[in-house]
């Protein structure tokens, strides 16, 4: 069990690093968008979720995990982008 937990910890660190990169893209998007109402794009949200679910199916990730995780990630990313947009 300790080895499994150590492997999970390593994976978590990699996920955190990838999420930091994703966050930097949100910061860049906030700079590129010209109006605050461009931050939330419901069609884009559904497109991202659809693509994630297709990828999840390919690699064996349960949609019961993938969809709520990505919807939460997207909502928090939008919140972050609104904050970044308002700071500029």
Other CB atoms closer than 10 Å to residue 39's CB: what's the count? 20
State the CATH number of the domain containing residue 70. 1.20.59.10
Tokens of 60: 């064996």
How large is the average pLDDT for residues 28-37?
Answer: 96
Looking at the structure of the chain, the number of domains it has is: 1
Structural domain that includes position 52: 2-87
pTM over 0.85: yes
Q: What is the DSSP letter of 84?
A: H
Radius of gyration of the chain (CA): 15
- The arithmetic mean of pLDDT across residues 8-15, rounded, is 98
Average pLDDT along the chain: 97
């Amino acid at each position: 069990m300790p080895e499994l937990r150590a492997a999970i910890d390593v994976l978590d660190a990699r996920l955190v690093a990838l999420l930091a990169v994703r966050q930097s893209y949100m910061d860049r998007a906030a700079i590129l968008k010209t109006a605050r109402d461009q931050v939330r794009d419901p069609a884009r949200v559904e497109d991202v979720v659809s693509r994630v679910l297709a990828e999840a199916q390919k690699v064996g990730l349960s949609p019961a995990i993938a969809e709520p995780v990505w919807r939460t990630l997207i909502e928090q990313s939008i919140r972050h982008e609104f904050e970044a947009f308002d700071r500029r």
